[in-house]
């Protein structure tokens, strides 16, 4: 199979590296890159040891790189002969890594929208602004780029494509629901990069309603849902990458919303941080130096990867799709669940990271055998969902679809499967 280059060795990178090694017979060489050399070397050694790699021919090799440096990434792609590059580093690296792929012709995948480190004004459709203008170049050179291929964005987009392909003539609404009902035992922590996470939960919510972008204050709209396995949960309307691409790729669907579950305690702490200005990425002067407050918070919060060890409970992420089929109203909930402790025991990561890493390798396997090779830049809902959803359980994430009552009620008994 083709040589693989994984960039990023945080919580998600850990899972991607483990899964790549588990499926190493379908790839050529596997290289793992991140910024900090000694940390990366330790991680790679641990993965090699976990799967019993011989000392003289490791299953995964470590190569430090600055992923914001296009030339350095391109040089690493050339050196390793990588044909598939999996970007699970910070979204600040997306542009440099994808440019390096464009230069070298390697296929590219990422799991989050590109971001600028200190932007405050994000236009409603950041894909249109930031990513899609580069599509013609990928198309002209025939280079594959899969944008947003984690769980959300990622699998939820594929669930929508699958719903459209198999269940509906017309889709009226899509509600993406993301609940982490787990407990990490810390006073306050974010499940992935605090920079990105704190921005995501405190920025104005951009949502798609009546076929246009609406702006609402964060956490101002919520609902209670009763989900399988985790029971009743309060979820809040939030802006999220996938709404932006789905709004364009599902042009006949007037309402697309993203909802995330937050506990009361998390909300309280967040409100204090936000009110004090500590979630802001706009630098302030401290003792003559300019410092972004969110960077200070990040430095103080637990490393997301370190939460895994004591995490218990489950996550449930799904899409609640309503519309019509053969003239009848129809509603389908398509969802996955993972268990923090089980995931930790397998690969040493919590379920948020696991749910992101499994889809990355599922997609990489489809890229490796040519099933998914659009030779241009796409969001994943533009691809055939069937081969992906057939393969994902084998890689580690089960999923299922339930037909639900069209009155919007939830038939799952509280806490039952
Ligand atoms: P972490 O912050 O834990 O890890 C980020 C990794 O990227 C680190 O290994 C870091 O290197 C590396 N990195 C950052 N900057 C550079 C650089 N300039 N050069 C080289 N390496 C760099 O993040 P996560 O693992 O939690 O998340 C990874 C990505 O996945 C993020 O983009 C996040 O937004 C996305 N994500 C997507 C989800 C989805 O469902 N779609 C869900 C969760 C996350 P070092 O270790 O050396 O500092």
Instruction: List pLDDT tens digits, range 305-324.
Output: 789 999 999 999 999 999 99
The sign one gets for the Cα dihedral 136, 139, 140, 141 is positive
Q: Do 114 and 182 share a structural domain? A: no
- For residues 129 and 250, membership in a common domain is answered with no
Give yes or no for residue 123 having a pLDDT over 80: no
The pick from 32, 34, 86, 199 for probing ligand 1's pocket by mutation, whose C-beta has the most ligand atoms within 8 angstroms, reads 34
Q: Are residues 180 and 326 in the same domain?
A: yes
Separation CA 236–CA 197 (nearest Å): 15
pLDDT of 253-275, one tens digit each?
A: 999 999 999 988 999 999 999 99
**Alpha helices per DSSP H over 329-371:** 340-347, 351-368
State the pLDDT at residue 350. Answer: 92
Atom of ligand 1 nearest to the CA of 36: 47
Residue from 9, 44, 72, 90 to probe ligand 1 pocket by mutation (most atoms less than 8 Å from CB): 90
- pLDDT band at 286; cut points 50, 70, 90: very high
Backbone φ and ψ of 51, nearest 5°: -105, 10
Provide the percentage of residues in the chain whose pLDDT is more than 70. Answer: 98
Band of the pLDDT at 154, cuts 50, 70, 90? Answer: very high
Å from CA of 339 to ligand 1 middle: 22
Count of domains for the chain: 2
**pLDDT at res. 161:** 98
121 and 30, same structural domain? yes
Compute the distance from residue 253 Cα to the ligand 1 centre, in Å.
32
Pocket residues: Cβ below 6 A from ligand 1: 8-13, 34-36, 39, 65-68, 88-91, 93, 111-112, 150-154, 192-193, 196, 304-305, 352-353, 356
- What average pLDDT does the segment 337-346 reach? 97
Taking the C-alpha atoms of residue 132 and residue 151, their distance in angstroms, rounded to an integer, is 21
252 and 220 within one domain: yes
Q: What is the pLDDT of residues 361-417, one digit of tens each?
A: 999 999 999 999 999 999 999 999 999 999 999 999 999 999 999 999 999 986 555
**What spacing in Å lies between the alpha carbon of 368 and ligand 1's midpoint?**
23
The pLDDT, as a whole number, for residue 122 is: 65
- The tally of CA atoms less than 13 A away on the side-chain side of residue 79 is 15
Q: How far is CA 212 from CA 200, 252, 363, in A?
A: 20, 12, 31
Residue 374 and residue 381: Cα distance in Å, rounded?
A: 12
| The 3-state secondary structure of 293-333, one letter per residue | HHHHHHHHCCCHHHHHHHCECEEEEEEEEEEEECCEEEEEE
Q: Which residues contact 20 (CB under 8 A, 6 or more apart)?
A: 4, 6, 27, 30, 60, 86, 361, 364
Which token pair is 95? 């542009």
> Mean pLDDT of all residues in the chain?
95
Asked if 267 and 317 sit in the same domain, the reply is yes
Output the CA 2–ligand 1 centroid distance in Å. 23
pLDDT of residue 387: 98
pLDDT score of 121: 64
**Averaged pLDDT for residues 74-86:** 98
Read off the pLDDT of each residue in 202-227 and give the average, rounded to a whole number. Answer: 94
Ligand 1 centroid distance, CA of 34 (Å): 9
Burial label for 328, CB within 10 Å (0-12, 13-18, 19+), is: exposed
Domain's final residue, options 147, 165, 193: 147
Same domain, 85 and 107: yes
Q: How many CA atoms lie within 13 A of 41 on its CB side?
A: 4
Q: CB atoms < 10 A from the CB of 300, how many?
A: 10
Domain C-terminal end among 147, 182, 212: 147
Ligand 1: nearest atom to the Cα of 34: 21
> Are 238 and 280 contained in the same domain?
yes
Q: For residues 350 and 191, is the Cβ–Cβ distance under 8 A?
A: yes
Picking from 147, 163, 178, the residue at the C-terminal end of a domain is 147
- Given a cut of 70, whether residue 277 has pLDDT beyond it is yes
Q: Of ligand 1's atoms, which has the minimum distance to the CA of residue 66?
A: 19
Tell me which residue has its CA closest to atom 2 in ligand 1.
Answer: 193
Look at residue 356 and tell me if it is in a domain. no
Instruction: Provide the phi-psi class of 339: left if phi over 0, else alpha when psi is between -120 and 50, else beta.
Output: beta
Q: pLDDT at residue 120 above 60?
A: no
Q: What integer pLDDT is reported at residue 119 of this predicted model? A: 60
Distance CA 65, CA 292 (A): 25
Identify the sign of the CA torsion 148, 374, 97, 21: positive
Ligand 1 nearest-atom number relative to CA 355: 40
Q: Check whether 34 has a pLDDT greater than 60.
A: yes
pLDDT in tens, 58-71: 999 999 999 999 99
Q: Which of 104, 63, 98, 112 is nearest to 82 (CA)?
A: 104
Domain assignment present for residue 208? The answer is yes
Rounded average pLDDT over 287-309: 93
Alpha carbons 314 and 276: distance in angstroms, whole number: 32
Cross-strand partners of 338? 315
Structure token digits, residue 407? 């009155």
Mutation to probe ligand 1, out of 5, 6, 10 (largest number of atoms < 8 A from CB): 10
In this structure, the residue with its CA closest to atom 34 of ligand 1 is 112
Q: What number does the ligand 1 atom closest to the CA of 67 have? A: 19
296 shares its domain with 161: yes
Domain that holds residue 82: 3-147
How far apart (Å, rounded) are the C-alpha atoms in residues 367 and 114?
21
Do the beta carbons of residue 393 and residue 329 sit within 8 Å?
no
Q: 345 — phi, psi (to 5°)?
A: -65, -35
Tokens found for residue 156:
């939820």
- Residues with Cβ within 8 Å of 120's Cβ and at least 6 positions away in sequence, in order, are 281, 282
Specify whether 123 is located in the same domain as 162: no
Pocket test for ligand 1, best of 356, 358, 360, 380 (most atoms within 8 A of CB): 356
């Amino acid at each position: 199979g083709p040589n693989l280059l994984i960039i990023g060795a945080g919580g998600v990178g850990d899972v991607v590296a483990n899964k790549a090694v588990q499926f190493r017979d379908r790839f050529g060489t596997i290289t793992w890159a991140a910024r900090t050399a000694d940390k990366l070397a330790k991680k790679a050694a641990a993965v090699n040891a976990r799967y019993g790699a011989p000392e003289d021919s490791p299953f995964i090799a470590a190569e430090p790189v600055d992923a914001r440096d296009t030339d350095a990434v391109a040089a690493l792609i050339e050196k390793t002969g990588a044909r598939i590059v999996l970007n699970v580093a910070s979204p600040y690296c997306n542009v440099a890594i994808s440019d390096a792929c464009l230069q070298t012709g390697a296929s590219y995948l990422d799991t989050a929208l590109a971001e600028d480190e200190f932007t405050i004004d994000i236009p409603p459709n950041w894909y249109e602004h930031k990513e899609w203008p580069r599509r013609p170049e990928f198309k002209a050179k025939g280079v594959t780029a899969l944008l947003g291929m984690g769980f959300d964005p990622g699998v939820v987009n594929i669930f929508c494509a699958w719903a459209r392909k198999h269940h509906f003539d017309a889709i009226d609404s899509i509600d993406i629901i993301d609940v982490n009902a787990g407990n990490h035992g810390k006073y306050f922590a974010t499940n992935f990069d605090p920079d990105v996470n704190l921005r995501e939960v405190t920025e104005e919510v951009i949502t798609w309603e009546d076929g246009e972008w609406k702006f609402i204050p964060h956490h101002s709209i919520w609902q209670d849902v009763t989900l399988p396995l985790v029971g009743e949960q309060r979820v809040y309307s939030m802006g999220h990458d996938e709404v932006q691409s789905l709004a364009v790729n599902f042009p006949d669907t007037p309402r697309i919303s993203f909802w995330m579950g937050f506990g009361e305690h998390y909300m309280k702490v967040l409100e204090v941080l936000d009110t004090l200005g500590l979630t802001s990425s706009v630098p302030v002067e401290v003792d003559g130096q300019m410092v972004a407050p969110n960077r200070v918070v990040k430095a103080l919060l637990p490393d997301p990867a370190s939460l895994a060890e004591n995490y218990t409970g489950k996550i449930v992420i799904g899409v609640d799709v309503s519309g019509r089929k053969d003239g009848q109203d129809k509603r389908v909930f398509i969802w996955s669940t993972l268990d923090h402790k089980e995931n930790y025991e397998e690969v040493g990561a919590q379920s948020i990271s696991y749910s992101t890493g499994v889809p990355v390798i599922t997609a990489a396997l489809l890229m490796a055998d040519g099933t998914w090779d659009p030779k241009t830049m796409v969001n994943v809902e533009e691809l055939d969902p069937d081969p992906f959803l057939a393969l994902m359980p084998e890689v580690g994430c089960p999923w299922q679809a339930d037909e639900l009552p069209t009155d919007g009620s939830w038939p799952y008994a509280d806490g039952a499967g």
